[in-house]
Chains A and B, each alone.
Chain A
């Protein structure tokens, strides 16, 4: 009985901790995004309203409210994220297959190449990248920002995709070859369907990484390319309301993706892949 009581309390504490860390900041964000007036020492806002939301979504223009329309930045963020994700996965999938299956002599070096932008401090990398990009006339362009995003995203793209391919027993490929499938047919009919859950997870990671990418965009993109994280950065110091609106908007695509791809996280689907 003593142990049971102890366990229940521990479980309750655990759940409370998770709830607090997840819902605490989110509920604070929601509260801040609708607060018109909120001064110390009040626990709740004195005045609430959707003024910041309206302003941010371009539904009203009021000079008294310190928020600008985020529609252009939102559009830019989504377009950049979609293109960067598409290109990253186009590179990642063949690279991951090669890393998972082929006996490459320089495998470690190859892998290190993808790791580089993540393991070294980011600022010096991008500061050094700026002159190069300027020379190639990519600085301050959407193309330049997409390229930087691909550099940052390749790690997740290649890494997760590699383990997706590695989880598939080689005998399944050999079996396909033995019944007459070419290497190409085997890849599309056997490997890709089996690797799909892992590849989708990888795609989500890449998309979210690109959507929220800050450092690279800051150095390469500003002042001509403005994405949502750029707006959030400029708002976060002085304008809690506008920053909260932006933060919630940034959460939405990730949450939507999780819901859409929820199917792949079901245990029976995942366990089928392991067989």
Chain B
């Protein structure tokens, strides 16, 4: 079973620690995304798996085989590069056939396999074109086909869509996902684009400053971010810092420095006097017309600015000393300075460690 395991991978460049003790397992036939801001170590991690970079310490297993010190050409992996890296002196056919020729596969079979994989990426009949004669999207699909034609154990993709325009990028997300499912190939995908990660992945590994911060399914990571970094990086969040003032049977009360009280569902480990961060997603802020005393987490907020986005209104509110970002349904655009009543449903509030 082509399963990839990383054990305590560490890589330094001079004084900078690019990857710091990353341990994770990629299951067979799973697509796992390494997600994080630039410089978080995601690309270095991927390059370690490919063999382009040898980690200073730690081990990498593919299929239970220790490949840590095996050169890239013996790892049986496919790699898709950010800038495609097609060989400009070869036609599409020659680009795809190169790896097969090195494996001494008969000519007829090479032609057959190249034709199959080209139809898979919807580029049939492009065999004789040179890379420079193709559009960016087509080049990217050739790069994908070049990796797939060898039927590798693991497919590694390094920000493959970041050079494409927004519309094509969105299409290709689904296409890659579809191909990966169809072929049942184990894949590791590097991106800094959280939307891409959420769409593509079976699981997401969030990295920050060389460390693995959280590993989980997209919904898990979105709904239960492990810390403030994850809450802010995946989906938008506004943050409010508060102190736990009361813990009851199934709810807890928090109070901010400026005296606002929030009711939150009681979670394991909440203790009185503890300082905690409340992450509030824009879509969880409800605007209410008639304030009613009975509802908890009801606040009056002031509009700072509002921007029309077509299908919604991006509205920034001031709540006490905190700034809240909200997405309102289209309609009247509130003007700055206006007072609005907002309701924050307790069950939607996310608590993360301070």
> CB distance B131 to A275 under 8 Å?
yes
> CB distance B72 to A177 under 8 Å?
yes
> CB distance B73 to A172 under 8 Å?
no
Q: What's the Cα separation between A193 and B78 when bound, in Å?
A: 23
> CB distance B98 to A178 under 8 Å?
no
Contact of A181 among B52, B81, B83, B98 (CB under 8 A): B98
A264 within 8 Å of B (CB atoms): no
> CB distance A190 to B85 under 8 Å?
no
Q: How far is the CB of A64 from chain B (nearest CB, A)?
A: 59
Chain B residues positioned under 8 Å from A275 (CB to CB): 88, 131-132
Contact of A171 among B81, B89, B150 (CB under 8 A): B81
Interface centre among B51, B79, B85, B86 (most CB of A within 10 A): B85
A137 within 8 Å of B (CB atoms): no
> CB distance A177 to B51 under 8 Å?
yes
B102 closest partner in A (C-beta) = A180
Chain A residues positioned under 8 Å from B77 (CB to CB): 178
A residues contacting the other copy or chain, number (CB 8 A): 22
Q: What's the Cα separation between A153 and B88 when bound, in Å?
A: 31
B147 within 8 Å of A (CB atoms): yes
Chain B residues positioned under 8 Å from A179 (CB to CB): 73, 78, 98-99, 102, 146-147, 150
B50 within 8 Å of A (CB atoms): yes
A194 closest partner in B (C-beta) = B89
Chain A residues positioned under 8 Å from B130 (CB to CB): 272
> CB distance B52 to A177 under 8 Å?
yes
Interface residues in A180-207 by Cβ distance below 8 A to B read: 180-183, 185, 189-190, 193-194
A274 closest partner in B (C-beta) = B88
> CB distance B89 to A181 under 8 Å?
no
Contact-size category for B: 20 to 34
B167 within 8 Å of A (CB atoms): no
> CB distance A169 to B83 under 8 Å?
yes
B321 within 8 Å of A (CB atoms): no
B98 closest partner in A (C-beta) = A179
Contact of B73 among A171, A178, A194, A272 (CB under 8 A): A178
> CB distance A174 to B87 under 8 Å?
no
> CB distance B88 to A171 under 8 Å?
no
> CB distance B71 to A177 under 8 Å?
yes
Chain A residues positioned under 8 Å from B146 (CB to CB): 175, 179
Interface centre among A182, A273, A275 (most CB of B within 10 A): A275
B332 within 8 Å of A (CB atoms): no
B47 closest partner in A (C-beta) = A174
B15 within 8 Å of A (CB atoms): no
Cβ proximity bits B259-287 to A, threshold 8 Å, 1 near / 0 not: 00000000000000000000000000000
A185 in contact with B102 given A174-B52, A178-B147, A275-B88 (CB within 8 Å) = yes
Cβ proximity bits B107-148 to A, threshold 8 Å, 1 near / 0 not: 000000000000000000000001110000000000000110
Q: How far is the CB of A27 from chain B (nearest CB, A)?
A: 41
Interface residues in B31-71 by Cβ distance below 8 A to A read: 50-52, 71
Q: Mind listing 27 A-B residue pairs with CB under 8 Å?
A: A169-B85, A171-B81, A174-B50, A174-B52, A175-B79, A175-B86, A175-B146, A176-B87, A176-B98, A177-B52, A177-B72, A177-B73, A178-B73, A178-B78, A179-B98, A180-B150, A181-B73, A181-B98, A181-B99, A182-B73, A194-B88, A194-B89, A271-B132, A272-B88, A272-B89, A273-B88, A275-B132
